[in-house]
Structure 1
Amino acid sequence: MGLFSLFKKTDALPPLTDDEQARLAANSEAERQSQAARQREIARATAMKIDAIESAMAADIFNLPEPAWGSQRPPRPLRAADADDDFSGIPTTLLLTDELPLASADDSTPVVEEIAILYANGQTAVAQQMLTAAVAETAGQNSDRAAWWMLFDLYQVSGQQDAFDNLSIDYASTFETSPPPWQAMAAPSATSPDWAGLTPTESFSGALGPHIAPQLDRLRSLAGANPVLRLEFTRVAAVNADGAALLLGTLRQLQQQQRELILVGAAALTTHLRSNLAIGRRDEGEAVWLLLLELLQLQNREKEFEQVGMDYCVTFEVSPPSFTPPHKVAMAPAQHVSASPDRFMLPPIIEQQLGALLPAIQQYAEQYPALVFDCSRLARIDYACAIQLHSALQELAAAQEGRKIAFRDVNHLVTALLRLLGYANLARIYPHKY
């Protein structure tokens, strides 16, 4: 017998059973998936490292000793004391009580300031990238919300509703609270896109009935000479059939005339009306149902419009009105103070030079002891104009001792810029509330 015959395999291995083959295949697939997962994790870590390096490089760029636009940047003042911000002694038509939140000094972190400057100077894409990165860093942390609010506003002024909705989901999970609603800005009037000035305003309160007819007459009479009208429903407690019919007719007429409308508290009024209506019950009257449908249409809430329209159809056994997208309608949140009817509305964009805006503001200052600037349409003011406006307001404040100045309904991008430039030292800044 040869040497190698001693080690000769005498019995062949039995073939694998079907179960053994299945387990072997499953183990191979599991190992393959595990390796793929490890590769993805390595790639993700590498990408995060690259992002961190790029962010550090960007920070170094922004921290240069003298930015190109910084030669006119004034030193940042300390926030004025609350006593200096007191608006007591102002007539009730210029009520500036302290129930709305002031812009917080804590919002002025370095990254927020740099983003505010970039956005002010028209670099919206870069500002959006930086805001997205800032929000990602705070995701899952119940920390400062300034970057979130600025990004919400940027999405709204640029019409990015899908991105806004995605951010809303992250916001709700991060802060465990309801996200802000989408409120698209009204398109500027084609005949006067840069319009600015006193805004005719009608504030409705109590139970709306036949007594609102004079207010609506005044509103219609002013529509011809004013491209923007403001209607406030914050203090409305109820609406009867006569009041609903009057208001409905006026809203339809203003839409036909293509007037630009700013509706304050429309969402709250819509909720109130809807909660008091029931399918099959006609007690409130058909006009109240039609007013509810009109308000939903003005807010561009088509899905809810269709649902209420079916309820209206069943209740009154008539065909519901068809949905028509609103024309130049903007929404503003309900406020807890009486808004002044003498507010000076700023235009959607202020850039390059103040131009005719400055004489209009000076004329406004000659007529009113307190200056209330409505910023609900203001999407952006560039850096140079913001500095020029600050200087003009300083002169107006010095010309009349004790003059009070306020900025209302400011978006958070503009708020950050105004704080950076020292506006809080001479005016009260009320960003819109989220």
Structure 2
Amino acid sequence: MGIFSFFRKKDGQADSAGPDTRLRSGEPSRLSLDNEAERARQREIARATTAKIDAIESAMAFDIFNEPEPAWGSQTRRPVRTEAQIAADTSTDTLPLLELATTELLADELVADAAAPGTEPVIEEIAIMYANAQPEVAEQMLLASLAEAGRDERAVWWMLFDLYQAGGQQDAFDDIAIDYASRFETSPPTWQPLPLAGAEHALAGVTPTESFGPVLDAAITPQLARLLELATSSPATRLEFGRVREVTPEGCARLLAALVLLRGGGRELIVAGATELAETVRATIAIGQRDASEAPWLLLLELLQLMNREKDFEEAAMDYCVTYELSPPSFEAPANVANAAGAQAQSRSDRFLLPALIDGASAPLFDAIDAYAAQFQPVVLDCSRLARVDYAAAAALHKRLRALAAADKTIELRDVNHLVAALFKLMGFQEVARLFPHKY
């Protein structure tokens, strides 16, 4: 029902009521021909008013639901105003319009909902504190900001979620997740810890990446074979399932076998879109259907394990046991596995995985990025395992990326946590690269 429908209903009721119903039965009507003419005129006015309301409501709906979201930095800037114009604005009773939205969106044409950090000054201060290895101070500032900046600015909450995940503070994460769900009336984020800042410092390098979809079937065999071959000499492997819309038992069986191999040997495994793939697989299975292939069931259990969703794993394992009268696999907390949000856009090249910490001793890392950039276009830096960047190191990285951009390289920083994204935005990284914070 439109926002004006309530008023139209009242008009309709008055219109259909007819003559005054309070007359006693048998009493002659006191309405004259003049009254009838006046009522007809009023009805015509009511119909015209209703038509105007319909037009207004239709225009409002179009503006609300059909206006495309702008990419970060794509807004048309208004010309610089003169001092006289500014004075005229401030002399009125209303506030002048902001030059930029508080929360901007940055995305390519297929990832339009990757939200950027906000522009509140406190966010910039917190980003600097965290970059300078003061997480306790950053936490206190974030908590203090929830009542004011966090009232409408979700970036404050997202930064706090990332801080707790980088510090392994699951209890604190769960506490604010409840408050976040209540405040914004939405589902809270799930716990997906980042590596502790400083851990696995040397884990970086070119990451073989494969995007699957829209059908996961036997045709994925060549993609999996490439990943398995490259995984032996790579610190990490990335699989993307955001485009998968359909699965077959054959595809499930092949992917399951590859996941088991890729998880072995202590190598890093990054899975993007595991949640969406798990739901797609779940839709193909039925409890008690014993003649169906076990592969989708076993792939579902593997995905739940990769996402560290033990409760969901145990429930699915029980359903598997009931269906096949077999003992299900046991749950093992995943090691060296990172989860990322699924994107609709297909990766165009292998990524370069950044380490958990970038600090003053990162010159070899920057040299490796230069070597990677010499072979790939676009230059895609995978930040899914990046917990913190030292302020001085961020300045050095910005200088390196500016040189690459000057050499006509397209640079993308993907799956950036919101603390680091706020720092990068403050330091002008968006002038040389496209920033894609991970999604909540």
Q: Do structure 1's residue 117 and structure 2's residue 128 form an aligned pair?
A: yes
Q: Deviations over 1:63-88 (max 9, x none)?
A: xxxxxxxxxxxxxxxx855699xxxx
Q: Deviations over 1:377-430 (max 9, x none)?
A: 111111001111111222222233xx3222111111001101111112222211
Match of 2:436 in 1: 430
Tell me which moved more, 164-173 or 197-206. 197-206
Match of 1:163 in 2: 172
1:83 and 1:362 mapped to 2: Cα distance?
Answer: 34
One-letter amino acid of the structure 1 residue matched with residue 362 of structure 2: L
Structure 2 unaligned runs (5+)?
1-71, 78-106
For 1:51-130, what aligned pairs fall within 5 Å after superposition?
80-81=73-74, 97=109, 99-101=111-113, 104=116, 107-130=118-141
Q: Give SS of 1:234's match.
A: coil
Q: Give SS of 1:226's match.
A: coil
Match of 2:184 in 1: 175
Q: Do structure 1's residue 414 and structure 2's residue 413 form an aligned pair?
A: no
Q: Do structure 1's residue 286 and structure 2's residue 298 form an aligned pair?
A: no
Q: Deviations over 1:258-304 (max 9, x none)?
A: 22110010011112222332210135411111111111111111111
Tell me which moved more, 351-360 or 110-119. 351-360
Contact 1:185 1:329 in 2 (8 A): no
Match of 1:312 in 2: 320
2:198 and 2:139 mapped to 1: Cα distance?
Answer: 27
For 1:30-69, what aligned pairs fall within 5 Å after superposition?
none
- Runs (4+) off by over 4 Å: 79-84, 101-105, 186-190
Higher RCO, 1 or 2 (CA under 8 Å, sep at least 6)? 1
Tell me which moved more, 205-214 or 292-301. 205-214
1:182 and 1:198 mapped to 2: Cα distance?
Answer: 27
CA positional deviation for 1:308: 0.9
One-letter amino acid of the structure 1 residue matched with residue 111 of structure 2: E
One-letter amino acid of the structure 1 residue matched with residue 350 of structure 2: D
Change (3 A) 1:104 1:297: closer
CA positional deviation for 1:178: 1.5
Change (3 A) 1:133 1:327: same
Contact 1:412 1:431 in 2 (8 A): yes
CA positional deviation for 1:104: 4.2
Change (3 A) 1:189 1:283: farther
Q: Report % sequence identity.
A: 53
Match of 1:222 in 2: 230
1:83 and 1:252 mapped to 2: Cα distance?
Answer: 49
For 1:25-424, what aligned pairs fall within 5 Å after superposition?
80-81=73-74, 97=109, 99-101=111-113, 104=116, 107-137=118-148, 141=151, 143-185=152-194, 193-282=201-290, 284-400=292-408, 403-424=409-430
Change (3 A) 1:247 1:165: same
Q: Deviations over 1:159-178 (max 9, x none)?
A: 11111111111011111112
One-letter amino acid of the structure 1 residue matched with residue 259 of structure 2: L
Change (3 A) 1:187 1:381: closer
1:160 and 1:420 mapped to 2: Cα distance?
Answer: 26
Change (3 A) 1:242 1:370: closer
Q: Number of aligned pairs? A: 340
Taking only aligned residues, the RMSD between alpha carbons, in angstroms, comes to 2.4
1:395 and 1:186 mapped to 2: Cα distance?
Answer: 29
One-letter amino acid of the structure 2 residue matched with residue 125 of structure 1: E
Contact 1:186 1:329 in 2 (8 A): no
CA positional deviation for 1:225: 0.6
2:183 and 2:418 mapped to 1: Cα distance?
Answer: 19
Contact 2:126 2:141 in 1 (8 A): yes
Contact 1:100 1:336 in 2 (8 A): no
Contact 2:205 2:234 in 1 (8 A): no
Match of 2:83 in 1: none
CA positional deviation for 1:195: 2.6
One-letter amino acid of the structure 2 residue matched with residue 225 of structure 1: S
2:382 and 2:419 mapped to 1: Cα distance?
Answer: 15
Q: Give SS of 1:255's match.
A: helix
Calculate the TM-score normalised by the size of structure 1. Answer: 0.73
Change (3 A) 1:399 1:247: closer
Match of 1:52 in 2: none
Structure 1 unaligned runs (5+)?
1-78, 85-94
